[in-house]
Structure 1
Amino acid sequence: MLIREGTPADADAIAALHTASWRSAYATLLPSSYLHGPVAEEHRQQWRTRTAALSPGQLLLTAHQDGELHSFVYLRPAADHSVHVDNLHVHPDRVGTGLGRLLLHRGLAWARATYPGRDVVLEVLRGNDRAIVFYERQGGLRTAERPLRLAPDLVVDEIEYTWPAEPVGRQGEDGPEV
């Protein structure tokens, strides 16, 4: 497995994987007309724009095997001074292989090194139970719930997970850890 930083040349492959992941994970959560309609072009435009504007303050890691993209993670600083895991996707045929865990932990390590003292957050759609269990197993703490507008007539609920900058239970530099 080759893990490397993503580039603009990866945009279309990332968009295709992003769309495949959504179609698999959100089949019962989002309308089929959306998943098999505008979402593919939305993702293509999104990733062409994002990869063209990558900066050292962002991280896009891709995992490839035999020339095919199997997973990616994208992190960026957020306006609230956290680091946002904006996307973490594994090809539906590769879910459960450890790729998501590997890329998430590499992303968390990058965030701590690049933005020390900042929490890392991500959002997941309510009902995406497999992802929810995964994020909780990886130490994410449920910190918020809110509606998310994906399209003018499409609103779904999302759950926010946080990996705190300081370990939970830490009482200070000289205090005991709980």
Structure 2
Amino acid sequence: MIVRDALPADALAVAEFQTRTWDECYAGLVPDAFLRAQRVPERLARWTETLVTGARECALAEEPGSGEVTGVVSWIPGEPHWELRSLYVAAHHRGTGLAAALLLRAVGERPAQLWVFRENLRARRFYARHGFTVVPGSDHLDAATGVPEVRMSRS
């Protein structure tokens, strides 16, 4: 797997990948209406802006030779914690260590924080293995989906 910085020219590939990944991972977790409304054009506009403006740092994993995107991570450096904004891995690459490599690329061993859907137990277990714990009392509803989230943090 090749992990590299995402470029503005990658916005379409990232948007397509995120749409597929959300359809795979979040069906039954987020409202179907939200998944139907968030297709490639909507995501393309956001990722284009993100990658052009540098609002977040972003890296992607791709298959050597084919260039197929198999993972995406984005983050915002900051003090005292870095903010992990997104981490997606293709279903056929889960359990391979790719997510861990992307997490390391994004935040390393630094203190970091993130929001995760409360019922996304697979993701919560993954982050717990990497030193993150749920911040007590952090539950809130994600503004876009209306789905409960919890804050996880690593010191």
**What TM-score does the superposition give when structure 1 sets the normalisation length?**
0.77
Q: Distance in 2 between matches of 1:121 and 1:101?
A: 15
Deviations 1:32-82 (A, max 9, x none): 222123343332111011011127xx531111112111101111146x853
* Unaligned residue ranges in structure 1 (runs of 5+): 113-118, 165-178
Which protein has greater RCO, CA pairs closer than 8 Å, 6+ apart?
Answer: 2
Secondary structure in structure 1 of the residue aligned to 2:131: coil
- Percent identity for Structure 1 against Structure 2: 29
Runs of 4+ aligned structure 1 residues displaced above 4 Å come to none
The answer as to 2:112 corresponding to 1:120 is yes
Q: Where does residue 59 of structure 2 map in the other structure?
A: 61
Q: Where does residue 84 of structure 1 map in the other structure?
A: 83
Q: Distance in 1 between matches of 2:31 and 2:107?
A: 32
Alignment of 1:20-39 (within 5 A): 20-39=20-39
Residues 82 and 107 in structure 2, CA contact (< 8 A), matched pair in contact too: no
Residues 145 and 160 in structure 1, CA contact (< 8 A), matched pair in contact too: yes
Alignment of 1:16-165 (within 5 A): 16-54=16-54, 58-65=56-63, 66-77=66-77, 82-109=81-108, 112=110, 119-143=111-135, 144-150=138-144, 154-164=145-155
Q: CA RMSD in A?
A: 1.9
Secondary structure in structure 2 of the residue aligned to 1:149: coil
Q: Distance in 2 between matches of 1:67 and 1:48?
A: 19
* Unaligned residue ranges in structure 2 (runs of 5+): none
Q: Where does residue 9 of structure 2 map in the other structure?
A: 9
Code of the residue aligned with 1:44 in structure 2: it is L
Q: Offset at 1:5?
A: 0.7
Q: Distance in 2 between matches of 1:81 and 1:108?
A: 12
Q: Distance in 1 between matches of 2:40 and 2:125?
A: 26
